[in-house]
Amino acid sequence: PAVMARAGRAGALGGTQVITGGLGGLGLRAAALAVGRGASCVLLMSRSGRVSREGQRLGGQLNLLHSIAPHVVSTLAADSAEPAVLLAATRRFPHLGGILHAASTFGANLIRDLRSTDAHALFNAKAVGAAHAHCSLSCIPLQLALFYSSLAALAPAFSYAGLGFYAAACTSVDGLARARRAAGQRGGALQMANVADQGSGALLSDAASRLPGIVRITLDEYSHCVS
């Protein structure tokens, strides 16, 4: 509730707000912000259709959202990397106001140890999903189009840590956001630091977090960035 109260001062959101990766830690926090800013519908898309990392108490956060806004928050088990998924979602939930593409697969392997299936997984959720979102929604005048990137796209240390393919996927998302703005469309890429308390980044070991270029932020700092 406190997060929602702060978000209510940031400006209203209209229509349906789609959050891919919506049942992860960062997606659920963004959903609370969207509810607080007056979204008429918040659609949480997830490949599995269920919360993960129960050690972070995400199920309780989802239940709280449903209790506060029972007719606003909906979930959909769907992979945003599939070409027709977002287009079908817009038909089911009309008056689309925005999309927050938070879907991601995080992985660290040196290139010599990386399999083709690993590369496919790393690119699919973040970069391919963002490209499909752009193509599916390019004719809709969105109020918000925010794509989650990462500081991995900027810091050379990530490549040394075996995150080169993840960094490349983030760089692709950055380029897509710039291309949308150049075409007069809404588009932003949020180059996230490691969020220490929630989301896949919380699994990053303390040893890895001490590498040059890796920065940790709190959940409140993350909420401020998204707002």
46-89: per-residue pLDDT in tens? 888 777 666 567 778 888 888 888 889 988 888 888 878 887 87
| Nearest-angstrom CA–CA distance, 84 and 65 | 28
**Which percentage of the chain shows pLDDT scores above 90?**
18
105-144: per-residue pLDDT in tens? 766 555 566 666 667 777 888 899 999 889 888 888 898 8
DSSP codes joined into one string, 46-61: ESSSS---GGG-HHHH
| Nearest-angstrom CA–CA distance, 23 and 122 | 18
Q: How far is CA 153 from CA 94, 100, 163, in A?
A: 34, 19, 10
21-53: per-residue pLDDT in tens? 888 888 989 999 999 888 889 999 988 877 766
Tokens at residue 61, please? Answer: 């956060």
Dihedral class, residue 213 (left if φ above 0, else alpha if ψ from -120 to 50, else beta)? left
Q: Which of 22, 21, 9, 26 is nearest to 220 (CA)?
A: 26
∠ CA 162-159-188, nearest 5°, is: 115
